[in-house]
Amino acid sequence: MKNLLPYCALLFVLSCSPTKLRFERPVNTTSRPISIQDKKQFAYPESDVVFSNDFDGARLNGVIQENDSTYRLRITPENIPINNSAYYAFKIKSTKAQNLYLQFDYPPPYTHRYVPKINRGNGWTVAAGEFINTIDGRTQLKLTKVSGTVLVSAQELQNSGHVAQWAEAQQAKNSMIDFKSIGESTLGRPIWVMDIQQGNAKGKPVIVFFTRQHPPEVTGYLAFKAFMEELLSKTDLSDDFFDQYHILAFPLVNPDGVDLGHWRHNAGGVDTNRDWSKYRQPETRAIVKYIEKTLRKEKANLVLGLDFHSTWYDVFYTNKERQSTPFPNFLDQWFSALEARIPNYKVNEKASNSTQPVSKGWLLYGHNAVGVTYEIGDETPRDSIQLIGQTSAKALMEILVEEKQ
């Protein structure tokens, strides 16, 4: 019996290890060094101005005062090479009302991407006429009558505290939700799941939802929130849906990157959406282990997954391979429903089987499931995001409930 123990231990370890996949274009996701920004205040007492990056989700690497009212802001990424998603977030404090001119300074070849969002304590607004490009090419923001505390951010601030508050509020309203940590990030932040099931989960098909793999992609997260709230709306349709399906939703895949104000990567200096084959990073490893453990425990199959992101415009990245999946006609039906129900809306689909280890490829190659990267435009109007999220969730439930009947 003793001679069998090492063998049994090995079988146990292998059975608990995530299934590794091969992709045509593998990506090395071994951790790389990152530059941690100094959390501090940049104070200019003579001008009565203080800049601060001392909060979760901030990004501000340096400030240079050009004159009484103009400040050059240095914004640098966590490491390079990196996608051009020049994220920033900072606070400005002043005890007197004054006009300020802020110039955004990025290291070449990176350029400005996000239209500033401004919060003076009464909600977020989008910079409009005050947002310009100066003659030398540097992006400039004019803030009028700055008094008290003003928060300026590339996108509405949604750090880990905001995410936890939202998820806990959903759990308080709905006993189906088990909101919990399933592991820790490199810096010890929790990796959360919303495990949502009604009744006995044995054998029920599993559907997964992910968001915030990339920290600045807040519009994708806003669509995820609207989508989830519609799923959890306690309607007859929602009740029928949860009678038939088991949901695993991951509301913050990259908590370190979000709270550190990263442009793209996690604390390991890696794009987590290139780590869906070897799982070298703790976030993807914990998520895949939890999903696969759930499938084994419940003797269930993973049938569908949506990964909510943001880019310059609304687009659905899909896999061309559909016939072998459980729902070969789902996407055609789903997209048709969105176009029929959302005024003046045209689905922008780009289909290609994943050659790199991204989540939608993991869904197809690892589980033969329908996989979609659900992208919302950086500047898509927020009321449109709400409508798209709600409508796509309702249509998804209707189609999948019908499939099971």
pLDDT value of position 17: 76
Complete DSSP assignment for 305-350: EEEEEEESS-EEEE-S--TTSS-TTHHHHHHHHHHHHSTT----EE
What 3-state class would DSSP assign to 218? Answer: helix
pLDDT value of position 332: 98
Question: Does 135 score more than 90 pLDDT?
Answer: no
Per the CB < 8 A criterion, the answer to whether 177 and 217 are in contact is no
pLDDT value of position 1: 41
Rounded Cα gap, residues 231 and 393, in angstroms: 6
pLDDT value of position 138: 75
pLDDT value of position 131: 73
Complete DSSP assignment for 69-126: SEEEEE---SSSS--S----EEEEEEEEEEEEEEEEE--TT----SPPEEESSS-EEE
The DSSP bridge pattern shows strands 246-250 and 206-211 to be parallel
Per the CB < 8 A criterion, the answer to whether 186 and 226 are in contact is no
Complete DSSP assignment for 146-184: EEEEEEEESS----HHHHHHHHHHHHHH-TTEEEEEEEE
Instruction: Supply 148's token pair.
Output: 């008290």
Per-residue model confidence as pLDDT tens digits over 338-387: 999 999 999 999 999 999 999 999 999 999 999 999 999 999 999 999 99
Averaged confidence pLDDT in the chain: 94
b/e 276-303 (16+ beta carbons within 10 angstroms → b)? bbbbebbbbbbbbbbbbebbeebebebb
**Which CATH architecture does the domain made up of 41-153 adopt?**
Sandwich (2.60)
* pTM of the predicted model as reported, rounded to 2 decimal places: 0.94
Rounded Cα gap, residues 347 and 329, in angstroms: 16
pLDDT value of position 129: 67
Fold for 160-404, please state it. Answer: Aminopeptidase (3.40.630)
Spell out the domain ranges in the chain: 41-153, 160-404
| Percent of the chain residues topping a pLDDT of 90 | 91
Per-residue model confidence as pLDDT tens digits over 191-205: 999 999 999 999 999
Question: Does 114 score more than 90 pLDDT?
Answer: yes
Instruction: Supply 327's token pair.
Output: 């729902």
**Residues near 136 by beta carbon (within 8 Å), at least 6 away in sequence:** none
Question: Does 4 score more than 90 pLDDT?
Answer: no
Per-residue model confidence as pLDDT tens digits over 293-324: 999 999 999 999 999 999 999 999 999 999 99
Rounded Cα gap, residues 256 and 184, in angstroms: 10
